[in-house]
């Protein structure tokens, strides 16, 4: 599944090609792609304009403007598409996108042949490039939903429970450290650090690949109990998470699956820079010890036995 860097790459592409354009039509070719807006998506999108392209963790959304909201272009509008400082801000709506396992948001010429797994097609009033949602496995979806304006940063209601991600300005490092050390999966069982990193109510956007890479950089074994981490070590881990994600962004993300592409259909190449993930029995880039693979939550966890020794107090 695409993680934060891959979704951010898509967001940046959409920001270039979609913001400020008005939707002329929305064609739904598979009901599962809009299962929560079945039958209503075309009417809820037609005539509305994308004010911006936002992201939290692995979710994307486009705040939508109605024609009456656009009086002098998009300058001076906030993330809701309302004039900044214009008194009371009314709640708006947004088009949410989750890519699932194989979803692709592609910006293509209207004359481009229809893709085999095209699920939703958006056309625009300017007659320019279309936005197409292609999804082979149909685990992804699009949804129009209200924005929650009560939060420090307006986000769509269906994802308001998801924690901020480490690249957001509103992410609070101190609050994260406090909640992390208190984390438990159930009394008296302690929580391993990797399990906590994958908890979207604590920190969003971190998946299996980047958790392993960040833990390697911070020299932490995935089973280290969160309550044993010092403030300094948590700060090192957060720095490693941000560092690995920034590097992945520079390289267009990680493309183990050929279905992950940016809005132009191009794959990223950060997989060539991975230190441990998927590198079982290959030498650790830091010390040369063969990388180990261990089972973890029906997945795999990769680490260096020397740089990341398993803690003695880890539960089995």
Annotated binding residues for DNA, written as ranges, equal 117, 137, 189
CA atoms within 13 A on the CB side of 194: 28
Residue tagged active-site, from 3, 115, 130, 213: 3
Q: At what angle do helices 4-17 and 231-250 cross, to 10 degrees?
A: 50
> What count of Cα atoms within 13 Å lies in the side-chain half-sphere of residue 299?
15
Length of the chain: 316
DSSP SS3 for 65: strand
Bridge partners, residue 50, by sequence:
64
Q: Which two tokens stand for residue 109?
A: 């010429």
Radius of gyration of the chain (CA): 21
Choose the catalytic residue: 153, 184, 282, 299. Answer: 299
Contact 70, 20 (CB under 8 A): no
- Binding site: which residues? 117, 137, 189
- Asked about 2 being catalytic, the answer comes back as yes
Q: Is 299 part of the annotated catalytic residue set?
A: yes
Instruction: Single out the residue of 105, 120, 100, 123 nearest to residue 10, CA to CA.
Output: 105
Q: 297 in helix, strand or coil?
A: coil
CB 212 within 8 A of CB 303: yes
What is the rounded distance in angstroms from the CA atom of residue 192 to the CA atom of residue 287?
A: 24
Is 190 a residue of the active site?
no
Give me the numbers of helices (H) and strands (E) for the chain, helices first please.
6, 14
CA distance 81 to 96: 15
CA 228 to chain centre: 29
Catalytically annotated residue among 44, 58, 132, 194: 58
- Residues acting as catalytic residues: 2-3, 58, 299
């Amino acid at each position: 599944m695409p993680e934060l860097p891959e979704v951010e790459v898509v967001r940046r592409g959409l920001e270039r090609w979609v913001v400020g354009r008005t939707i002329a039509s929305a064609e739904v070719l598979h009901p599962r792609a809009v299962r929560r807006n079945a039958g209503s998506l075309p009417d809820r999108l037609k005539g509305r304009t994308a004010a911006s392209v936002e992201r939290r963790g692995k979710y994307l959304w486009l705040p939508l403007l109605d024609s009456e909201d656009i009086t002098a272009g998009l300058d001076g509008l906030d993330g809701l598409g309302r004039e900044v400082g214009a008194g009371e801000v009314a709640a708006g709506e947004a088009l949410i996108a989750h890519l699932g396992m194989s979803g692709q948001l592609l910006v293509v010429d209207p004359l481009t042949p229809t893709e085999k797994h095209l699920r939703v097609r958006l056309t625009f009033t300017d007659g320019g490039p279309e936005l197409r949602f292609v999804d082979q496995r149909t685990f992804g979806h699009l949804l129009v939903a209200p924005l929650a304006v009560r939060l420090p940063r307006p986000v769509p209601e269906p994802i308001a429970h998801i924690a901020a991600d480490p690249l957001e300005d509103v992410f609070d490092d101190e609050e994260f450290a406090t909640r992390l050390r208190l984390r438990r999966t159930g009394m008296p069982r302690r929580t391993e650090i990797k399990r906590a990193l994958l908890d979207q109510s604590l920190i969003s956007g971190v998946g299996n690949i980047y958790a392993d890479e960040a833990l390697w950089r911070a020299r932490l074994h995935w089973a280290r109990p969160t309550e044993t981490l010092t403030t300094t070590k948590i700060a090192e881990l957060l720095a490693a998470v941000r560092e690995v994600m920034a590097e992945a962004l520079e390289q267009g993300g990680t493309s183990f699956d050929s279905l992950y592409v940016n809005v132009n259909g191009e794959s990223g190449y950060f997989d060539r820079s991975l230190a441990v993930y998927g590198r079982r029995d290959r030498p650790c880039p830091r010390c040369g010890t063969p990388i180990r693979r261990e089972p973890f939550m029906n997945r795999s966890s990769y680490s260096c036995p020397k740089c990341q020794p398993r803690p003695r107090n880890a539960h089995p």
